[in-house]
Amino acid sequence: MCKVITPEATEGHVHVHGALEEAELLRETISEELDSITSLVARWHAVESVEGKNTFFQAIKAKRTVLKRLWEALTEMEGSFLLEGCEEAHCHHHH
């Protein structure tokens, strides 16, 4: 698999063309969200007050909702172009 979005490219203005590149962008975004959740959990662990822990918990919960939506979008997108590619290549798939 080739990397469509390079670290150098993400610093500037990036355009993606086609489903494969969009899926790669979604994967990169999902990875960043996972890193963000890891950071929030570390901060939640460091906070001692109930209010502070609750604030971080709510942020983690919101991030997980975003992550779920991104994952659903990626799954749908990949399913579409993989199925199309398989039909073009006459793939045989078993249920």
Residue 2's alpha-carbon distances to 21, 35, 63, in angstroms, are: 10, 22, 28
- Contact between 62 and 15 under an 8 Å Cβ cutoff? The reply is no
Count of beta carbons in the 10 Å neighbourhood of residue 82: 14
> What amino acid occupies position 71?
W
- Contact between 4 and 19 under an 8 Å Cβ cutoff? The reply is no
The whole-angstrom separation of Cα 36 and Cα 52 is: 17
Confidence of residue 94 (pLDDT cuts 50, 70, 90): low
| Residues 3-55 pLDDT 10s | 445 555 555 656 667 788 889 999 999 999 999 999 999 999 999 999 999 99
Whether this model's pTM surpasses 0.95: no
